[in-house]
Structure 1
């Protein structure tokens, strides 16, 4: 048996935190002497303490650690979901850093506000599309929607697909509502009764190349330009992916057309 001071040294958990974990039923002493309140831990509890620390060090809340340790929730499934959460947060931090780099490169507000992308007004042709729409927690979850959409497409038809489009539905700003689409030739319509026509009409578009970290600046430029030229939004903005992670390994080869329906 180990006194709390000894157990603290063996596990690198402070006595204060050990008492806190006791209150939360995360790591209770094997014995608490009534006469003096001394706490004693067993050698077997060192492994339990190490597991607790491992889960805490990857950012899992203490309440959920307790459920994991007493097997109230499935650890394998939970850890897989937590990994996805961390990867999403990492991608968001990388985007913030990339945008910060651009801010630092600009140096002055006047340079930052300069519109660097040519904006074109065009009438988009209608497309016969297959689509998949879902509310998600992060814009980085868009890749999961593409996976689900492509799972609905026959393997022999993949090479016949044309444009890839993502529509960002608005309305409730608290919800991220994305619909991904792939256009298909008319001759394939008998195999896909759920196919529909996507029509956008008159559209203001910017064609960008490179990493998606530039998108916040692109959208800011577009909104500013629309206001200066007295255009009004007439629908949900969408991206056309002329090349993307699905077709290119290098970010600098991505080609994205950012589109805003207007009137």
Structure 2
């Protein structure tokens, strides 16, 4: 039998953690002296200790490990834990990759001009157009893809003829930025007439004068573009006059690389 200190050295688990594992039912001593309270482990418990170390390094919590160990079909329980952890870590890896991309983009901007990228704002008129439209409240702006999925699914059988130009855009109907429960409408310009479907409405949109700025890159840049448009509106004697919208010239449907997105940020305006 091994005293707890020796087992601690062999297993590379601190005495404090061995005591905690015991209280959690994860790894209990082979024997505890009823008079002295000394804990003794056996050499046969070293593989179990090594398994715990490996699982902890993978990021599993003590409660999850103990629960899986208590199950009769422990192997299946651990496989389920592994699948869940793989999905969790994959999500975290994507978030980290996105943060690194944003960081590198910011570093590139600082190296080039010391501040941020400048955006060219233009005044133009978007002509009257026929559109296929889906408008719903969604959980957040990041969920906009749900609306496009509905539009594509329900109009697929109609064999829509694209408008000229063929524009895909999203209109933001809330009068403010919202953290959740956002009112968004997506539109695709079409040629001809078609019957409405369960969620898709076909309608004619009037011509509108807009101040717009087109940029390349991820959607996190929209705040900077908004500032450029707001500055232009103020400096040129215009005022905002309607709901903002984004035209997607190159979208996630076209490329998986956010740096290749091309988005036009549009604000209806009128002269003061």
Name the one with the larger strand percent.
Answer: 2
Unaligned runs of 5+ residues in structure 2 are 72-76
Alignment partner, residue 129 of structure 1: 132
> For residues 68 and 231 of structure 1, what CA distance do their matches in structure 2 show?
63
- Whether 1:192 and 2:197 are equivalent positions in the alignment is yes
Instruction: Tell me which moved more, 151-160 or 205-214.
Output: 151-160
TM-score (norm 2): 0.66
| Deviations, residues 191-210 of structure 1 (Å, cap 9, x unaligned) | 63532348583322112245
Matched, 1:240 2:237: no
Among 58, 63, 66, the alignment partner of 1:66 is: 63
Counterpart CA distance in 2 for 1:8 and 1:82 is 30
- Corresponding residue SS for 1:44: helix
Does structure 1 conserve the Cα–Cα contact (< 8 Å) formed by 2:172 and 2:244?
Answer: yes
TM-score by length of 1: 0.67
Query: Which position in structure 2 is the counterpart of 1:59?
Result: none
Residue segments in structure 1 that go unaligned for 5+ positions in a row: 57-61
Computing the radius of gyration over CA atoms, which structure comes out larger, 1 or 2? 2
Q: Is the 8 A contact 1:241 1:257 kept in 2?
A: yes
Which of 175, 178, 181 is the aligned partner of 1:173?
Answer: 178
Alpha-carbon separation, structure 2, partners of 1:191 and 1:146 = 16
Quickly say closer, same or farther: Cα 1:49–1:255, change in 2 above 3 A: same
3-state SS of 2:159 partner: helix
Mapped pair 1:221 → 2:231? no
The aligned counterpart of 1:120 is 123
Matched-pair contact (CA < 8 Å) for 2:216–2:261: yes
| CA distance in 2: counterparts of 1:26 and 1:125, whole angstroms | 70
Give the aligned length: 249
Matching residue of 2:262: 255
3-state SS of paired residue (2:184): strand
Instruction: Spell out the pairing of 1:72-83 with structure 2 (5 A cutoff).
Output: 75=81, 76=83, 79-80=86-87, 83=90
